[in-house]
Amino acid sequence: MADLFHVVGRQRACREFRPDPVEDDLVERCLEAATHAPSAENRQPWVFVVVRDPELRAMVGDLTRRAWRGGGRQHSEPRLASGLLTDVDRGAEGGVAAAPVLVVVCGDTRLGLEVTLPASIFPAVQNLLLAATALGLGSALTTLPVTFGAELRTALTLPSTVQPLAVVPLGWPARRLGPPRRSPVSEKAHRDRYGAGW
């Protein structure tokens, strides 16, 4: 198993996947890591729907594409560098849906207040992403398809108490992923008060 800081330093979004299958034991290891995340009151409100069915993956891909074309791209164009925009565009237009596994991460409102569910769900998503990186899998976090939450809920037969919050594609990267680009800590951290250098 890779060193934690090595994994954290390598984790980045993958939006292009090989068609090779991902074994259930690898997916389960990622989910196991996700379930070890902290959650409010230790209620563990996460629900994971592992989607392998090609028709359902295509449906999630269609929702992603619709959200991207329906305003996501327009919102991102002025914010993203051209190379990143191209990568995100390819992912939204089909790369994400081409992953052999899509994990739809949901929150169960019976186990937490709906307004606070993200505070418990997104640490679980981060654990899932880190576990995928440690295992050599590509992954990414997208919320584009959940903008059509009602359609997603219907397709996956989610009960009304289970809210989809994110989709994480899992698969073997189609190309080598370089290191993530990050600002140095000295630009983001302050000592005691804002503006006091680290």
* Largest pairwise CA distance in the chain: 53
Q: What is the average pLDDT score of the chain?
A: 94
Superfamily of domain 4-188: NADH Oxidase (3.40.109.10)
Residue 176 has φ and ψ, to the nearest 5°, of -65, 135
User: Do the beta carbons of residue 168 and residue 141 sit within 8 Å?
Assistant: yes
pTM over 0.85: yes
47-67 pLDDT tens trace: 999 999 999 999 999 999 999
pLDDT in tens, 80-113: 999 888 988 888 999 889 999 999 999 999 998 8
Kindly list the domain boundaries of the chain, sorted by start residue: 4-188
